[in-house]
Amino acid sequence: MMLAILAGAVIAAPADLTWLSGAWTHEKDGVVTRETWLPPLGGTMSGAGQTNRPGKPARSEFMTITVGPQGLTFTAYVDGQPPTPFVAIPSDPGSAVFENRAHDFPQRVMYRRCGENLCAGIEGVVAGKPRAEHWTYVRASAAE
């Protein structure tokens, strides 16, 4: 029992992630990143992300969180790439960490609540070197 507590918990269902629901935005150095997650319904959460960089076309991504054969699975749908699944691994309460060690980059996708904000990140290895990107999202206003 103590080992399970020390190892962290694995989120069992999208319903455990209701704190992720909503519209979130992050702005830094002229780059605007937005992510929106629908509340869980029928065992699925659906999300959409958009990143706008000055002078470049917007990059969009769609995501789902479902219960698959390996457990809770975050799947990213990025233009020009096949769907990429990441399976939940043990994490702290109020956090969700998904991993796919076979993927090029990222190999890990992470979310956690940071007070009223949403902290997110991706991590992995590129050309043998660790790489990470992190965002602190604030709840988007209805006008955005």
Q: Measure the CA–CA gap between 31 and 114, rounded to whole angstroms.
A: 21
Query: What residue type is 5 in one-letter code?
Result: I
The model's pLDDT over 9-40, given as tens digits with 9 standing for 90+, comes to 778 889 889 999 999 999 999 999 999 999 99
- Which residues are CB-neighbours of 83 under 8 A, at least 6 positions away? 75, 76, 77
Q: How confident is the model at residue 8 (pLDDT cuts 50, 70, 90)?
A: low
Q: What percent of the chain has pLDDT over 90?
A: 81
SS3 assignment, position 42:
coil
The span from the CA of 136 to the CA of 33, in Å, is 10
Identify the structural domains of the chain with CATH numbers, from first to last: 7-139 (2.40.128.20)
Model confidence pLDDT, tens digit, residues 90-106: 998 889 999 999 999 99
